[in-house]
Amino acid sequence: MKSFYVKTFGCQMNENDSERIVAVLRRQGMTPALSADVADVVVFNTCTIRENADNRFFGQVNMLRERRVREPGMRIVVAGCLAQGEKDAIFDRAPHVDVVVGTHAIGSIADLLERSDEERHVIDVSTGDGSIDPMVDLVPEPAEGHKAWVTIQTGCDNNCAFCIVPQVRGPEVSRPFGAIVDEVRRLAEQGISEVTLLGQNVNSYGRDLTKRLRRTSDGIHDHGFLAGPVYVSDGIRRIRPLFSDLLRAVSGVDGIRRVRFTSPHPKDMREETFAAMAESPAVCESLHFPLQSGSDRVLAAMHRGYRGERFFEKLELARSIIPDLAVTTDIIVGFPGETEDEFEATLELVARCEFDSAFTFIYSPRPGTEAGAWTDKFVDPEVIRDRFERLKLVTERSGAAKHRARVGKIEEILIDGPSKRDANVASGRTRQNKLVHLAGVDGERLRGSYLNARIVDAGAHFLHGELLGPPARGAHASC
């Protein structure tokens, strides 16, 4: 019986793909190994959003070169976005790799491994027929026993100048409404109580499905399964997103206590989504809202589809509808052509927005993207580093203030397990996705439990809590 090990780089979508890869390999009778050093098959599920992800992958895969030579029966598989976009570079820089499989073909890994016994450098980076990959409907094996990712769409129809995702993930394709709800029900039956809905642009979910129904109903026998019962019952058949309908449906699945989602696009965010978040008991008071820049000129160059003031108006609308909402964001520093005044506009808008936290990134040029070709506009690295540190001060100031404001509150904590640094401390998340440490609590025994805790102290990136006991069933303690 062969063993396997899967190493994941990148986003939650890759994490979810890796869970499905695990399910495929287990279905072939293979068993998980503890590390890449002992596995018969090592799978690297790669990311190509930023250059440092590429470099980390090549560093790790090349550490296996000597072992691959010593053990001819061992196999190395490279999957994911880097595999889809730069297949030739993989074999050039790491010729000991056996299989390269793109984002649309990960369901074929078992067949490709079988072919690798007879062929050298087996590859499948086909882009499919524009429909959803049937592998997505394979219920994965969640890495955690109480949380799971659920893919609701693949690909992206946006054309952000800095982003490689449309090239490596393809156009936006939504899964049938009923298939998603069915998967969540199956996960709940397995004991999963928190799900995170995944997509490159989740709040446009379903627009392609309703467009399909508007064009023709030939061969589509179950409109409710495809687009949901609310869409069918309204009788209008207009082209529209279905994300707010989906939030309500998933929130209503018995056994699901928390629903999260990532990532939405600000240009497509609608008031109906905020209303669904507020009205669906299981949907958490947590919103990731990627700003990217506070300069209108830079936003236009990025092709983001909104201005800074419009972003702020939507953020304020969300906070007015959803009580106690925590908001995080993404910001790129040093986008080609960014001036000092434009960066100052970003600092000003970020300060106004008062985010709970921010993922800040130094611009990374990606081959094949529009902005990657603007080499004459690249910002000096020293200037970028200075701006990055200044932005960090602003984001950490607002984040620390948001954390201090939670001291004294009673929060419902979902325990994820022991702290990575101290086995005598349990770690978990609030509904606002705040990390909370509970000293003297057995995190391993209580993994997956919902407990009440009073917040007694606040750090820059986490909170300290004092255990009070379990909340009443179905209650969401936060006061």
**353 is annotated as contributing to ligand binding:** no
**81 is annotated as contributing to ligand binding:** yes
- Among 30, 33, 26, 21, CA closest to 149: 21
Task: Give residue for tokens 């179905």.
Answer: 474
- 286 prior amide bond cis, ω within 30: no
Distance CA 65, CA 326 (A): 45
For the chain, how far is it from start to end, CA to CA, in angstroms?
53
User: What b/e sequence results for 226-244 when a residue is b if at least 16 CB atoms lie within 10 Å of its CB, and e otherwise?
Assistant: bbbeebbeeeeeeebbbbb
Residues 6+ apart with CB under 8 A from 276: 243, 244, 245, 247, 248, 283
- Among 87, 14, 1, 76, CA closest to 45: 14
**47 is annotated as contributing to ligand binding:** yes
Which two tokens mark 110? Answer: 């078992």
**479 is annotated as contributing to ligand binding:** no
Specify whether the CB–CB gap between 333 and 387 falls below 8 A. Answer: yes
Specify whether the CB–CB gap between 17 and 140 falls below 8 A. Answer: no
Q: Which residues pair with 413 in a beta bridge?
A: 451
Distance CA 281, CA 60 (A): 43
Sequence ranges of the binding site for [4Fe-4S] cluster:
11, 47, 81, 156, 160, 163
Sequence ranges of the binding site:
11, 47, 81, 156, 160, 163
